[in-house]
Amino acid sequence: MYDLFVFTTPNCWKTTILAEELGEAYHCKTVALPKHENQTPEFKKISPTGKVPAIFDHDTGGSVYGSAAILVYLADKYGKFLPKSGKERGDVLEWAMFGLTDLGVAFNTWNKFANRLPVKNQFSIDESWSEVVRFNESADERLGQCEFLGGKTFSIADISIFPFVGGPRKNAQMLEENKNLARWVAQMEARPGVKSGIALPKLG
């Protein structure tokens, strides 16, 4: 049993999707970032930097924060969606980290310039979007070689990338231009665990 602390962000959706796909007992707890609930002394005992997502593992009495760390931790804990060793594990980790350090960073940078800053800079918006496009094309090329991003089977690599290209963040034009990516997004959206995970947390 573990508690999963999240809000409605792509990085948090990675962990709610994994939790739903694992099918193990857990409690999903909303941390309202606009109300600064992530900065309370109680929450910082679980996530020292105040970041979400975070988990508290009742089996060990320990906590883990950050989407990448949580994906690996839970996949290893329950023995699902991450091979134990060898090339297969390396492939999954490589593409899982691609979702965090490449595509995820590019998308978040574009979102900041396009939607969050009070003064718009078109050059920065265009440059950051070109990185999003480039990384989507890389994922499309990979999916032309294998069914899933990590290889032959569904894994945390798919979970790491999906929230930036599917669900609420889906871009129809991007999928029209990347047919392999579009096939994979449809495949992901058909999974019950992905459907329920992307709908969490329930607000209001």
| Separation between Cα atoms, residue 20 and residue 26, nearest integer Å | 9
Q: Which two tokens stand for residue 38?
A: 């992530």
Domain 2-80 fold is Glutaredoxin (3.40.30)
* pLDDT tens digits along 28-56: 999 999 999 999 999 999 999 999 999 99
In order of 60, 144, 158, the CA distances from 67 in angstroms are 19, 27, 13
| Separation between Cα atoms, residue 102 and residue 118, nearest integer Å | 25
**Could you tell me the pTM of the whole model?**
0.93
Confidence of residue 204 (pLDDT cuts 50, 70, 90): low
Q: Which CATH architecture has domain 86-194?
A: Up-down Bundle (1.20)
| Separation between Cα atoms, residue 69 and residue 124, nearest integer Å | 30
The domain limits of the chain are 2-80, 86-194
